[in-house]
Amino acid sequence: MKPSRYFLSCSVVKVEMGEQGSDAGRPEEHDEQKGRFQQPDNDLQRALDLIVVVTALTQSTRAFAAKWQSIRAKLERLRCDLSNALLLLASSSASASASAEGEIPDVAAPEILSTLTDCAALARSCTELSYSGKLLMQSDLDGLSGRLDVHLRHIDGIYKAGTLGGHALALVVSRPPTGASKEDMRFFVRDLFTRVQIGSRAMKSDALRTLEETLREDDKYQRIVVETGDVAQLVTFLESDDAELSERSAGILSAVAADEENKAELVAAGVVFPAIRMIETGGAQGREAAATLLNRLTANSENAWSVSSQGGVTVALAICRKEEGALLREAAGILRNLAGVEEIAQFMMEEGVASVMFRLLKSSDEEAQACAADCLRIMSAGGISARNSIIKEGGIPLLVSVLGSQSLKCREFALRTIGNLTSSPNSARLVLHAGFLSQIPAILRRGDFSVQEPAARAVRDIAKLSEDARKSAGEAGIMPEMLKLLEAKSLTVKSLAAEAISELLTVPKNRSRFVQEDGSTVRILRALDTDEDSRVRQFLLLALVWISNSPAGRRKISSSGSLQSVERLAKSDVPEARRIVRRVSGNKFRKILDGIWKS
């Protein structure tokens, strides 16, 4: 089989390595000081070039996918480290040309080149499936991975020793302009992390501050920080005694967590426990950043258990019981996110989350109010025990009072929570007695689409309770608003509104009020004519059956000029339509007789 292009490229690099010894016979072209710096730079550049080639080759492997994924990650780390080393060596070389002080550290570039060449050969074998045995290849890949670890530890030791620092760190890389290439952005981030890793205390602080500001101004850096930087170093700083470094690291990590793609990697890097500890013991800025970080992480339900199992629920509840401001809002967001996992929600209920959310509902902070209402909505949808706890602790009157909030989100979530509670007749009665129905007309008149469904659902559930409940709904002016919802775009909203109307019209007083309102009967007939959904049509026909019970109602139907749809359904043997047509036709016949007798 013909060798692949990538493997040929690797072979060329290997040949070049072998030919470099021929320089020994050449005349001396450089002074001793310059020669000391040129060779490491050459080998490092070859290693960097080869890493790119080998990484591309590993993308084509057809076996041992997990092992190659781990190897690729180490190759990327090695590439970043060597790039930084090359930058620092170049700067140190320029400085050393003026002063003979200091020796260039041995970064083991020839050994790295040898490892990379072997990596290319193994990748080729796994691409062509030409290896002699599976166990032997597994052993070779483990050995390769171990060699890469040795190189990474070696370079890390050089960084920590500070032998690649000094003058090079005084060269500040400017932030790339807007629209710069990703490679320029990566180089900028790598330089900042180099300063964080080996710089002085002041350099670390400046680098973290710059990185935090960059993330705040340009979210394109969020993914680049994870791909190029050292997230583990930032996690370590979270537990640092240096308040400034830990707070800036928390700010960076919380910004990085805004990218959904980064969340799993942050959790894998062990960010959760240090963040929880910072919320408990950190300064104001750090606590807020750490809470924002956990709020963003828990927005992905896969991370919920990681936060809950390490004490996140207890810490968030403690904040919501006594704190205010941004920290309170972020903690409420954490609890809201965790409530979506049934087992965690049960634990939260046992820890008193309902009363905590009630506290937030009473606050003047609209964002905290909305978050609390959303948390109660999620829990009330999950199970009967959560609903019972909300009711038992007096949540219904509070939720009804929140319906007057200026926050649309708060009104919507409170309505949805109430809608979840009214699925039980007993709790629906409590909602009725809390004055819920009197709030509905004003809420619906605002014209907010998001509240239409929960409002119609709750009205429908209450209307099914009893005749007294239906009378209360009629007296509260509910029917005109339900009529308007027959024109909603949502089929669910139309169906709920039609069902609520059919229930409310079972009460004679409601029918009389409905018939007296101009256009009400006509709107139902027109809705019947335009809506083809069988469920909506069924409830509209039931409403017309109730209307046709009275002479006034029959006259409204007869004089509407919109009876064609009912007659068409009657011809299709729809029972309710046939009953309506019979009643209206009988009414017309009596009119004819009355006319004859009067003449």
pLDDT for 249: 94
pLDDT at site 121: 94
CA gyration radius, the chain = 36
Dihedral angle of Cα 544, 547, 549, 552, to the nearest 10 degrees: -130
- What pLDDT sits at residue 88? 64
Dihedrals phi, psi of 489, to nearest 5 degrees: -75, -30
One-letter identity of residue 154: H
**pLDDT computed for residue 161 by the predictor:** 60
Question: DSSP readout, 450-475?
Answer: GGHHHHHHHHHHHHTT-HHHHHHHHH
Tell me what pLDDT residue 485 has.
Answer: 92
Placement of tokens 């046709």 in the chain = 548
C-beta neighbour count of 549 within 10 angstroms = 14
Compute mean pLDDT per 10 residues along the chain, 599 residues long, and list them: 31 34 37 40 82 92 90 85 70 46 61 92 93 90 90 76 51 74 86 80 88 91 86 88 92 94 90 94 93 94 90 94 92 94 91 93 90 93 85 90 88 91 86 90 89 92 91 92 91 93 93 87 85 83 89 84 80 84 67 40
Query: Cα separation of 152 and 595, whole Å?
Result: 105
Cα separation, 391 vs 354, whole angstroms: 10
Helix (H, G, I), strand (E, B) or coil at 106: coil
Answer yes or no: are the C-beta atoms of 472 and 432 closer than 8 Å: yes
- Identify the pLDDT of residue 491: 92
pLDDT recorded at residue 35: 38
The 10s digit of each residue's pLDDT in 9-58 is: 333 333 333 333 334 333 333 343 333 334 445 778 888 889 999 999 99
Distances 250 to 245, 257, 290, 338, 433 between C-alpha atoms, Å: 9, 10, 6, 21, 48
Q: How far is CA 310 from CA 236, 272, 273, 277, 303, in A?
A: 17, 8, 6, 10, 11
Residue 532 DSSP SS3: coil
The per-residue pLDDT for range 434-466, each reduced to its tens digit, is 889 999 999 999 888 999 999 999 999 999 989
Judged by phi (left if over 0) then psi (alpha if -120 to 50, else beta), residue 490 lies in beta
pTM over 0.75: no
Q: Which region, left, alpha or beta, applies to residue 405 given φ > 0 means left and ψ of -120 to 50 means alpha?
A: beta
Three-class SS string for 184-205? Answer: HHHHHHHHHHHHHHHCCHHHHH
